[in-house]
Amino acid sequence: MRPLFAGVVWWFIGLVWAGAVQATPYLPASDNQVLERLRTRPADPAARELRALRNRLAQKPRDLQLATGLAKRYIEQGRLEADPRYNGYAQAALAPWWNAPHPQPPVLVLRATLRQSNHDFDGAVADLEQARKVAPADPQVWVTLALVRQVRGEYAEAKRDCLPLLHLSTELVAITCLGSVASLNGQAAESFALLERVLARSSTASAAEKLWAQTVLAEMAVRLRHPGLAAPLFKRALATGPDSYLLAAYADFLLDENRPQEAIALLKDHTRVDALLLRLAIAEAAVGAPEAANHRQALAARFAAARLRGDTVHRREEARFALELERQPAQALALALANWQVQREPADARVLLAAALAAQDREAARPVQAWLRRNHLEDARLAALDRQLGR
What are the residue ranges spanned by the domains of the chain? 170-241, 258-308, 312-390
For every residue of 350-385, which 3-state class applies, written as one string?
Answer: HHHHHHHHHCCCHHHHHHHHHHHHHHCCCCHHHHHH
pLDDT at position 60: 94
pLDDT at position 209: 92
pLDDT at position 2: 33
DSSP symbol at 3: P
pLDDT at position 14: 46
∠185-188-192 over CA atoms, to 5°?
135
**Inter-residue long-range contacts of 47-53, CB under 8 Å, 24+ positions, other chains counted:** 49/73, 50/74, 50/77
pLDDT at position 123: 95
How many other C-beta atoms can be found within 10 angstroms of the C-beta atom of residue 374? 8
Q: What angle, 0 to 180 degrees and rounded to 10, lies between the N-to-C axes of helices 155-162 and 139-151? A: 170
User: DSSP secondary structure string, 141-159?
Assistant: HHHHHHHHHHHTT-HHHHH
Burial readout 43-79 (b: 16 or more C-beta within 10 A, e: otherwise) = eeeeeeebeebbeebeeeeeeeebbbbbbbbbbbbbb
DSSP symbol at 8: H
The pTM of this model reads 0.86
Q: Note whether 286 and 260 are within 8 A (CB).
A: yes
pLDDT at position 23: 46
Listed in sequence order, the residues at least 6 apart from 148 whose beta carbon sits closer than 8 Å to its beta carbon are 15, 112, 116, 121, 124, 125, 128
User: Distance between CA 161 and CA 179 in Å, rounded?
Assistant: 13
Q: Average pLDDT by consecutive 10-residue portion of the chain (391 residues)?
A: 41 47 48 51 78 94 95 85 83 96 95 90 96 95 95 96 96 97 96 97 93 96 97 94 87 98 95 92 98 96 90 91 98 97 96 98 97 96 96 76
pLDDT at position 18: 45
